[in-house]
Amino acid sequence: MLRRFRPYLHYLRAVRGPLTGAVFCGLVYGAANGAGLPLMVKWVFPRVFSAGAVPLTAWALILVALWTPAVFLVRGIAGYLNSYLIQLAGVRVLEALRLDYFRKLQFLPLSFIARQTTGDLISRGLSDANQLQFTLTSVANDGLKQPASLIGSLAFLGWMAFHEKGVALVLVCMAVIPLCVFPIRYVGKKLLLRAQQIQGQLGSVTDRFSENLSAAKEVRAFGLEEHEVGRFAVESRRLITFQMKAAKYAQALTPAIEIISAVGISFTFLYAYREHVQLDSFLAILTALYTSYEPIKKLGALNNELKRGLGALDRLEVVLNEPLTITDPANPVAVGRLRGDVAFEQVTFAYKPGEPVLHGLSASIPAGTVCALVGPSGAGKTTFANLVPRFYEATEGRVAIDGHDVRSMRLADLRRNIAVVSQDPVLFNESIYNNLLLGRPDATREEVVTAAIDAHADEFIRTMPKGYETMVGERGALLSGGQKQRLALARAFLRNAPILILDEATSALDSQSEQFIQEALRKLVVGKTVLIIAHRFSTIRDASMILVFDRGQVVATGTHAELYAASPLYKSLYDRQHGAA
């Protein structure tokens, strides 16, 4: 079982200092606890209770007075430092672990992210990482401290046995210790399953939160308030049920060990009675026994902790061990600024294995072309556009830019050459200015403002009280759909990439704004390859090339005039819009 944690022990290396200090203090604590207390019973008691036969010397009196507070002082300080340093090491481990998890999320393919739920991914990164750090530091701490404490107590018992001729007595008491292994193992086994259920259910509860909050408007519009509370209550109750099932076993461990110890102690009583063992020896042995059961109890709890950690590890590894399928090639071709010749060669693509949504599709878009993608919804236009920046990878065939397979370039080189505006653009919870700057972090203020003017965003930005310093809210929630789209366009313009992908990027604009942006585009796109997915034919008509999509295939290619004459699908789509208008 410990082998499973080995790949993660490197997290402990960075906190060697505090951890070593913690373990040292732990050993001191163990010594003070395991040997100091029994010694107190052994030395102090007889001197105090020796029926006044021999008056104590001044030194002995001082020893009697100071021994107990000294043991507790050392134990207290060492225990305190041990806990503090373990916490310190723990939070550092957690930080590193959480950061690695978050970093991994940045590089995983979109297909993986789409398969998971947000809440569950959050819960893994927070609560499972938390659990794992707790386990790692517990193992690092108690894994040494408790056995050392146990050895200390046993050594004292051995010493007592040797000096007091109570060998048999000690052996009688210790015979019970191995029995403790049974409840420890049994509880551990039960707990592993429970731990996984709890962590999984925590994910579901987080999911309910994140989905519900992102649908705040729908909940009110459809009157789903009580319905949502009901769904949440169900998940919440299941979490409690799992937690109580785990508690049932975990909490049973300590009493089980204590009862076994009590049986051992009662045997000791009987034996001590028969053999006429002295009270002070007997008390010392009893104390040492008690302090040796303590580490056993703690080791049992540590075993539980390991099981909980295993559960968390399994869930973290779903992300940490997920292969990065979309990565830089081993020997990337060196590319600077691309010209922007986009070619699809016999491309088949499936989101789910066996269910292709693009079927052996070929298309060639020369550099500097404004190319419109047209077709019924679900025909595969967005999917087609997603393959160019390698958001997804062609299942068969290849996508090439300037003759280079997109898989032969470094991802950063490829994506630097592409600007994307998606249908539902997301802004970060920052100022407008900072959001625009993400398009090209080294842009000057003038360039940022120019891009905003071209995207017809400057006009509304200036009317805001804080202008470019206005905060946009989470995902841009404080702005209208049209405003968000204009900022997303400005962000893309600022990027000044040779390939521009606009996926329904103007759908939220009124037709007049769209026309303004059309004009701006005409000026901006000179020499650039533009893939534009749009509904309004006023936008499409101007394109120098149009690809007509239907059920995952390009069924016709040409200009507006050519297609209107030659493609029945194109003609019907066009006529339908104009008939409606």
Ligand X SMILES: Nc1ncnc2c1ncn2[C@@H]1O[C@H](COP(=O)(O)OP(=O)(O)O)[C@@H](O)[C@H]1O
Q: Which chain residues interact with ligand X by CB under 6 A?
A: 114, 351-352, 357, 375, 377-383
221 binds, among ligand X, Mg ion, none (CB under 5 to 8 A by kind): none
What is the distance between the alpha carbons of residues 70 and 262, in angstroms, rounded to a whole number?
29
Going by C-beta distance under 8 Å and a sequence separation of 6 or more, which residues neighbour residue 402? Answer: 335, 338, 339, 340, 341, 367
For 298, the token pair is: 């703690």
DSSP 241-276: HHHHHHHHHHHHHHHHHHHHHHHHHHHHHHHHHHHT
The stretch near Mg ion (CB under 5 A) out of 95-103, 153-161, 207-215, 379-387 is 379-387
What is the distance between the alpha carbons of residues 178 and 511, in angstroms, rounded to a whole number?
82
Q: Is 199 among the residues that bind Mg ion (CB under 5 A)? A: no
119 binds, among ligand X, Mg ion, none (CB under 5 to 8 A by kind): none
357 binds, among Mg ion, ligand X, none (CB under 5 to 8 A by kind): ligand X
Task: Tell me how far, at minimum, the Cβ of 429 lies from ligand X, in Å.
Answer: 25
Among positions 286-325, residues that touch Mg ion (CB under 5 A) are: none
The stretch near Mg ion (CB under 5 A) out of 60-68, 94-102, 183-191, 382-390 is 382-390
Task: Tell me how far, at minimum, the Cβ of 255 lies from ligand X, in Å.
Answer: 52
What is the distance between the alpha carbons of residues 143 and 80, in angstroms, rounded to a whole number?
18
Residue number, 204 or 553, with CB nearest to ligand X: 553
Residue number, 121 or 363, with CB nearest to Mg ion: 363
138 binds, among ligand X, Mg ion, none (CB under 5 to 8 A by kind): none
Task: Tell me how far, at minimum, the Cβ of 355 lies from ligand X, in Å.
Answer: 8
Residue number, 267 or 351, with CB nearest to ligand X: 351
Task: Tell me how far, at minimum, the Cβ of 224 lies from ligand X, in Å.
Answer: 25
Using CB under 5 A as the binding criterion, the count of chain residues that bind Mg ion stands at 1
Residue number, 177 or 418, with CB nearest to ligand X: 418
Residue number, 22 or 365, with CB nearest to Mg ion: 365
For residue 577, the Cα-to-chain-centroid distance in whole angstroms is 46
For 389, the token pair is: 């920046």
Kindly list the distances between the CA atom of residue 204 and the CA atoms of 222, 232, 554, in Å, as whole numbers in the listed order.
23, 9, 41
Task: Tell me how far, at minimum, the Cβ of 386 lies from ligand X, in Å.
Answer: 7
Strand 404-405 and strand 396-401: pairing? Answer: antiparallel
Task: Tell me how far, at minimum, the Cβ of 548 lies from ligand X, in Å.
Answer: 11
379 binds, among Mg ion, ligand X, none (CB under 5 to 8 A by kind): ligand X
For residue 318, the Cα-to-chain-centroid distance in whole angstroms is 10
Residue number, 255 or 378, with CB nearest to ligand X: 378
Q: Is 382 among the residues that bind Mg ion (CB under 5 A)? A: yes
DSSP 474-543: GGGTTS-HHHHHHHHHHHHHHH--SEEEEESTTTTS-HHHHHHHHHHHHHHTTT-EEEEE-S-HHHHHT-
Longest CA–CA separation in the chain, Å: 124
Nearest residue to Mg ion by CB is: 382
Task: Tell me how far, at minimum, the Cβ of 513 lies from ligand X, in Å.
Answer: 22
Using the 8-state DSSP alphabet, how is residue 419 labeled? E
Kindly list the distances between the CA atom of residue 46 and the CA atoms of 53, 163, 282, in Å, as whole numbers in the listed order.
11, 16, 12
CB 398 within 8 A of CB 347: yes
Task: Tell me how far, at minimum, the Cβ of 381 lies from Mg ion, in Å.
Answer: 5
Task: Tell me how far, at minimum, the Cβ of 482 lies from Mg ion, in Å.
Answer: 19
Reference 332, options 404, 386, 436, 261; nearest CA is 404
Residue number, 145 or 381, with CB nearest to ligand X: 381
356 binds, among ligand X, Mg ion, none (CB under 5 to 8 A by kind): none
For 353, the token pair is: 């294995």
Using the 8-state DSSP alphabet, how is residue 417 labeled? T
Residue number, 423 or 450, with CB nearest to ligand X: 423
Residue number, 355 or 442, with CB nearest to ligand X: 355
Binding residues for Mg ion (CB under 5 A): 382
